[in-house]
Amino acid sequence: MEKATLPGAIRDAALELHPAESIVLAISSDIAGPAEYGTEWLVVTDAHVLVFPQAATEPRHDLAFADIESIKAEGSVGAGAVLVTTAAGSYRLIAYTDARSDDFHKTVDGIRALKEGEGLEAHHTTSDRKRCEQCGRAIPEDMRACPYCLKHHKALLRIFSFSRPYTWQILGIFVISSLSTVAALLVPYMSKLFIDFVFRADSTTGGFPYADWHLWCVGAIFVAYALQSFFAGWQERLSGVIGFKTVYDVRSAIYARLQELSLTFFDKRHTGSIMARVNQDTAELQRLLVDFIPISLESLLSLIGVGILLFIVSWRLTLFVILPIVGTIAFLRLIIPIIRAMFHRYFHRRSRLSALVNDSLSGIRVVKAFGQENLEVNKFRRTSEVYRDSGIDLVKRWSIYHPFMHFLIMLGAVLVWLVGGRLVFRGADAPGGMSIGDVVAYSGYLMMFYRPVFMLTRMSQMITNALAAAERVFDIIDTTPDIQDDPDAIEMPSIDGHIVLDNITFGYNKHQPVVKGLSLDIAANEMVGLVGKSGAGKSTLINLISRLYDVDKGAIRVDDIDVCRIRQNDLRQHIGVVLQETFLFSGTIMENISYAKPDATKEEVIAAAAAAHAHEFISRKPDGYDTLVGERGSHLSGGEKQRIAIARAILRDPRILILDEATSSVDVQTEEKIQQALATLTKGRTTIAIAHRLATLRNCNRLVVIDEGEIIETGTHAELMQTEGHFSKLVQSQEALSAIVAVEG
């Protein structure tokens, strides 16, 4: 795994101990002792496992494959260890932090494969935690690429690619900026005319021979300022429209991608962090588009136009003035990587704060119920302090850089009066000489030249900020869903509902499987009940059948076709689900029931609600089906939400019906009514039901008892009760508990 970085002394020592073998795996730990960070090496040869302590060439452990009875990587709080069992006993080989957990699990898998005479596979030698090939830094888990080594001009071009539909408007901004720049160039030249001609008296007569020019020059200045103001307003309007439209397109693209991404993406990220990218990061892009595009266009045109005039007025003086600008550019190239890294740290801490706020507000009822408001406030303050400090560090650093750049640029103004004054002393008629009007005009043009430079240096912080935000936004847009349709995916407009789980293994963490080698054949139109304690893997099976996740091993087939080869939309179109955790969207009851079938008529919705025994309580509400349910259905009781969810599934009329604790939140009387409705609903369709109230599964054709991801019993309710096995004990325990509750009641 890290064979290329294995120290030469350790490599030589391992090969000297086993000269007939070669090193096939090597990995470094980040814990060197019981309670200290450091580096130790686990080295695997063709037939031995060796562990070298930090900076040592004598192995602490040297085990032959034949002596190893078992080996595993086991996690703990914040750390883990490779544990080995031999005839002499069990002990720890090497320890590591959570950051290296995945690597060591893969290495242990590789050792097992070698021990059993199998070849190494790709996943034994690669890590899910990526490192940048250029700088070697670990890539943050919520990013696909290294934020320190990204090509930021590509991000800028990518932003502008979203503006392509508005090309004509952008060209309009360019034309308007050009006209505004031409108008602005007139003003310094008017200063030259005033000093060298209009206000210059004739030495012999004492009069002003060019006095007639006065009103014309004043009028020219008035027109120039008026045109500048007009063009500025027009440009601001166009750039604002383009900015809002472009950011709308970017937000739409990122939200559409979020809808396409698999659940594994959301399992690894906080909701608040994702919301920060959709809202706050895209807002930074809007600032870039609204402010940067017009200012950069105007600045570029000014730099070109004024630069030409500076050389025309005095090319000698211009060569001196360029020197501070060159120094400023070199300084910018030096500090931008530093500022960029600080912005990435700032954004990361902002995302953590958003995630904390989202968690706290989502669980506000729990917070209130346990009286933990002060705890939440303290957590917020700690996280907010870190966020605040990163912002303060950013401001402090910029407060040093920006004034220094300003000073470098202003040195050019000093040079104008130093060198320009010498050229005035030569006389205007002498070669290379300048008049006082030339110096004043040159100074005015120089201020025009420096203004865009000042603006761009001041905006460099905003540009860096926006580009960092853009990279985070595009990181999501470019993310490929883990679960995708094959190019030749099969369309299934209709199905029979025959489901086969063929020796499937799956774990949300691949090294800790939840389902282990499970096989199950569910006939079309059969009703199967899944039974087992919490965490046994029942809900996971439902997620796998719906292809919310893909199995690690084995296959799931519907009508003898692997679900990986069926179009996801077609597969899920035939599946109706009532989940254990009922979720209702903010909106009306009508909208929540019709979510399963947006084109359903009102009559169809009411019929589905009646079948779920929800119509009665809905009709009693003042607004009926137009009643707002509140956020997550907060205006409804648990039983009411459950029945609306059941009505939603009934309206879909699926071939495969999945009931995950469908009656867990209703009272006994309501449950009895719903059971009658479900008895009608389940006829003629494949049904998979999960319930902790085992008595509710009596009508199932077959019960499947699952324990720790494996099937341990199958049969009808009566058959399993007669065997007096695991299921029978569960039923007896529930009956005893119910009797106790009844007596206490």
SS3 202: coil
pLDDT, tens digit, 9 for 90 and up, residues 132-151: 555 555 555 555 555 555 55
Integer Cα distance of 615 and 177 in angstroms: 64
Q: Which two tokens stand for residue 663?
A: 């009656």
| pLDDT, average across residues 12-26 | 87
Asked if residue 708 has pLDDT above 60, the reply is yes
The band of 330, judged by pLDDT with boundaries at 50, 70 and 90, is: confident
**Range ranked top by mean pLDDT from 466-480, 520-534, 653-667:** 520-534
Asked if residue 157 has pLDDT above 80, the reply is no
**Range ranked top by mean pLDDT from 46-55, 341-350, 454-463:** 46-55
Pick from 19-23, 24-28, 340-344: least confident: 340-344
Alpha helix positions (H), 194-209: none
The band of 735, judged by pLDDT with boundaries at 50, 70 and 90, is: low
Asked if residue 4 has pLDDT above 50, the reply is no
Contact of 571 with 655, CB cutoff 8 Å: no
For residue 357, what pLDDT is reported?
A: 75
Integer Cα distance of 616 and 612 in angstroms: 10
Closest CA to 398 of 444, 339, 452: 339
The band of 2, judged by pLDDT with boundaries at 50, 70 and 90, is: very low
More confident residue, 523 or 147: 523
For residue 126, what pLDDT is reported?
A: 47
C-alpha dist (Å) from residue 119 to 109, 115, 240: 11, 10, 60
For the chain, give the percent of residues with pLDDT over 70: 70
For residue 743, what pLDDT is reported?
A: 45
For residue 745, what pLDDT is reported?
A: 46
Report the 10 Å Cβ neighbour count for 175: 12
Asked if residue 159 has pLDDT above 80, the reply is no
For residue 538, what pLDDT is reported?
A: 83
Give the dihedral of Cα atoms 267, 272, 277, 282; nearest 10 deg: 150
The band of 166, judged by pLDDT with boundaries at 50, 70 and 90, is: confident
CATH 3.40.50.300 fits 484-574+658-666+686-739, yes or no: yes
For residue 1, what pLDDT is reported?
A: 44
Query: Buried b vs exposed e over 354-375: b needs ≥16 C-beta within 10 Å?
Result: bbbbbbbeeeeeebeeeeeeee
Asked if residue 120 has pLDDT above 80, the reply is no
Residue spans of the domains in the chain: they are 3-124, 152-477, 484-574+658-666+686-739, 580-653
Asked if residue 392 has pLDDT above 60, the reply is yes
Question: At CA 10, angle to CA 8 and CA 12, rounded to 5?
Answer: 65
Domain 3-124: state its class: mainly beta
Asked if residue 191 has pLDDT above 70, the reply is no
For residue 734, what pLDDT is reported?
A: 65
pLDDT, tens digit, 9 for 90 and up, residues 556-565: 998 888 888 8
pLDDT, tens digit, 9 for 90 and up, residues 650-665: 888 888 888 877 665 5
Alpha helix positions (H), 194-314: 213-260, 263-267, 271-276, 282-287, 293-313
For residue 135, what pLDDT is reported?
A: 54
**Architecture of the 152-477 domain:** Up-down Bundle (1.20)
Question: At CA 132, angle to CA 336 and CA 471, rounded to 5?
Answer: 50
Please give the single-letter amino acid code of residue 651: L
pLDDT, tens digit, 9 for 90 and up, residues 620-679: 888 888 888 877 777 887 778 878 888 888 888 888 888 877 665 556 666 676 676 667
Q: Are strands 561-562 and 515-522 parallel, antiparallel or unpaired?
A: unpaired
Contact of 21 with 9, CB cutoff 8 Å: no
| Greatest Cα pair distance in the chain | 132
For residue 34, what pLDDT is reported?
A: 60
Topology match between the domains 152-477 and 484-574+658-666+686-739: no
Domain 580-653: state its class: alpha beta
| pLDDT, average across residues 583-606 | 84
